[in-house]
Amino acid sequence: MEGGRPRLRLAQNQTGNLSRLRNAVCRVSSEPAQRASGSFRARGSGFRTEMVRLQKFLADAGVASRRTGEKIILAGRVEVNGQVARVLGTKIDPEHDRVCVEGTPVKSRRKLYIALNKPRGYICSRNDPGQRRAVGDLLPREWSNLYPVGRLDYESEGLIFLTNDGEFCLRLAHPRYGIRKKYLATVKGRVELRTLSQLTRGVVHEGEKLKAEKARLLSANNSHSVVELELAEGKYREVRRLFESQGLSVSNLRRTQIGRIKLGELRPGRWRTLTEPEIKTLLSDSGRSSRAISDEH
């Protein structure tokens, strides 16, 4: 005992992997327990990073969903700095506290947010069993846990985000949050202004309602036209289907902006990390602050 409190110790020589940890969810107890609040801090840490709830830490590390993480905690299968943590709502310092599930250490995953200019001829996936080129092939091998936010079809190019933050992905990709995206479409033939007016009013294509929030004609001649569109939902192949509904075909499509983040001078196949202000801007555009997302549940 130190100062009347149990001495904290770190688990040593523990090995394992996520498969072993995930297997724990099949053996959790259903005994009732009350919610309460508490916190841990590793001994000897010189400073404190942002505290997060234990079940969120487990979810971010890929061990289990938050609800399943709660069951594991209630079953007494989670230790923080050598102490069993049974209290839901317990907060930890992910940089300094030692978390184990059934004796297996759980490592904090640093969250990454990448902006990439997807070239044509790549699928929006980490890899492809069919041996097609995937956007994951353009990133360092150690970032194999990143996944695309939303989609951009095989023949299209332009701005996409990749991340290992599931909640960030949800906030940006789900239509209900209304993150707007801009596209430059090269369309075969001449596009009339009345056509763009129809696209902003909404059309039905193959039984589905499609709509552009904005549409602007940048140039037009008898061979092709260039149109800038802004969409709020991003349904499957929505830009191409909008023009198909009017008997037109898109020959080239590039996404130029997501929220307030622009593609800029990023060349095809190249990537960069999003800055903290950019991340906060995107979260703000989705109608929720970054702090609320990082600390919920």
Alpha-carbon distance of 119 to 272, in angstroms, equals 15
Q: What is the residue type of 79?
A: E
Alpha-carbon distance of 187 to 250, in angstroms, equals 4
Tokens describing residue 259: 């929220």
Alpha-carbon distance of 95 to 93, in angstroms, equals 6
Closest CA to 274 of 141, 156, 125, 169: 169
Closest CA to 154 of 126, 130, 118: 118
List residues with catalytic annotation. Answer: 153
| 181 close to 126: Cβ distance less than 8 angstroms | no
